[in-house]
Amino acid sequence: MIIKDYYRILNIGVNASNDEIKRAYRKLSKQWHPDINKSSNAHEYFININEAYNILIKPETRRLYDMYYYVQYPTIHFNDSDIETDATLGRVQGETFVQMEYEEFLIALMNFTKTTGSVIGCAILMYIGLFICIGGIGITLKGYSWMEYNEILTGIILSCIGFTTYMIGRNIKI
């Protein structure tokens, strides 16, 4: 796979936040949708925008992309199935979006960017819940070893809150 400069495609910096990536994606995809932009390269550029968004919005894929792009840039070829899969998915989504009427695309665009944000939000909620749960277990064990009942109770409550938070993050339907 030949690597592209996805940051340049979205006109953002390497340190751009997920919100900046979403804003750039929304702006450029509206600007380059073939129903709006009649230039000869609009179709291909629109697909590249979707490909770039799919790579950069996911933290793990973005990390792998950054590693390959900056470490192996002179060769401009790399082999990573995660990045290749997300790039292909982005191109397929781009082709689907190109076939939509512009108004239909705007609705899909808002749902698409909300969903990717929700997936990341659920993962964060799960990690926070897990962290609180483990902390609560630690406090419970410490209280149990010193026979401090208020710490045991605090630890049990924190463990329950953490477990509940984890399960909420895990079970949110997107």
For 119-158, the pLDDT digits (tens) are: 666 677 777 777 788 888 888 888 777 777 788 888 888 8
* Structure confidence at residue 79 (pLDDT): 54
Query: Residue 2's beta-bridge partner residues?
Result: 77
**Alpha carbon distance 141, 150 (integer Å):** 12
Give the pLDDT confidence score for residue 174 in this predicted structure.
Answer: 46
Share of the chain above pLDDT 70, in %: 78
pLDDT at 140: 82
Look up residue 130 and give its two tokens: 């897990």
Asked whether 56 and 21 are in contact (CB, 8 A), the reply is yes
CA 30-113-76 angle, 5° bins: 80
- Highest mean pLDDT (candidates 37-51, 63-77, 118-132): 37-51
- Distances 127 to 8, 59, 67, 114, 132 between C-alpha atoms, Å: 32, 15, 24, 20, 9
pLDDT the model gives residue 141? 83
